[in-house]
């Protein structure tokens, strides 16, 4: 029996560890399948506008919204599914569950109310509500208690591209659920964000090692550009 911990320790930063893992050419990939969907997780003002909501908002790549727009627009033009989620709760937060019990301040999660500014999508986003699926959710994963799984099944999707925030929270939860549902899962690096680089890069490392392919957004753009729907 082991007599001491075998957990590795390191003086490297979370960013350095991620870059080392990401650069490993021997790491097998899930790859793209035959048909993808873009799932944009919670790009709402509560999280994308630190100028409005400094305690909950964050910016990692300043061009994140542009990148999300670009891949969503290209996917839409190719007849591929685009999904948007944002989180919100009832006025009395009765639907927040245990997740809403840790704090109760104006910035607390359960105080994102339906129709509030914090619930609104970022104004820079280009959402086509005629053809895009838009869901409100209450828990971390975009799959939990939303129509997402059945929507993807109906559209015969086998690859899910996850964008949004936070990397350590709802993006990670959605990516894990995506893999668990049997989807090849892609996380474009420039399209996800978090409050602190430690959480961001530690979770990107975990996603890359276990649950998803972390790729440059240009790789997603190139794949969609080359996509041709099956006859």
Q: Which of 14, 170, 192, 193 is labelled catalytic?
A: 170
Closest by CA position to 138, among listed 199, 107, 103, 93: 93
Closest by CA position to 39, among listed 194, 189, 191: 191
Q: Is 33 helix (H, G, I), strand (E, B) or coil?
A: coil
Annotated catalytic, 170? Answer: yes
Dihedral sign from CA coordinates of 93, 42, 55, 140: positive
Sole residue written with tokens 């627009």: 73
Closest by CA position to 133, among listed 117, 122, 149, 144: 149
CA distance 105 to 194: 21
* Residues with catalytic function: 170
């Amino acid at each position: 029996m082991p007599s001491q911990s075998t957990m590795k320790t390191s003086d490297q930063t979370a960013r350095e560890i991620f870059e080392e893992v990401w650069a490993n050419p021997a790491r097998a990939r899930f790859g793209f399948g035959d048909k993808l969907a873009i799932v944009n997780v919670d790009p709402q003002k509560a999280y994308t506008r630190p100028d409005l909501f400094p305690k909950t908002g964050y910016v990692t790549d300043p061009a994140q919204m542009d990148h999300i727009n670009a891949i969503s627009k290209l996917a839409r033009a190719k007849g591929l599914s685009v999904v948007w989620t944002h989180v919100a709760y009832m006025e009395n937060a009765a639907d927040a569950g245990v997740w809403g019990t840790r704090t109760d301040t104006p910035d607390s999660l359960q105080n994102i109310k339906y129709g509030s500014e914090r619930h609104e999508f970022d104004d820079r986003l280009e959402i086509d509500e005629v053809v895009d699926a838009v869901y409100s959710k209450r828990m971390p994963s975009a799959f939990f208690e939303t129509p997402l799984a059945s929507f993807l099944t109906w559209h015969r999707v086998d690859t899910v591209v996850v964008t949004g925030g936070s990397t350590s929270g709802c993006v990670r939860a959605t990516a894990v659920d995506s893999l668990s549902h049997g989807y090849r899962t892609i996380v474009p690096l420039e399209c996800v964000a978090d409050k602190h680089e430690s959480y961001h890069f530690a979770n990107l490392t975990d996603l890359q090692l276990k649950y998803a392919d972390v790729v440059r957004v240009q790789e997603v753009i190139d794949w969609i550009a080359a996509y041709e729907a099956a006859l």
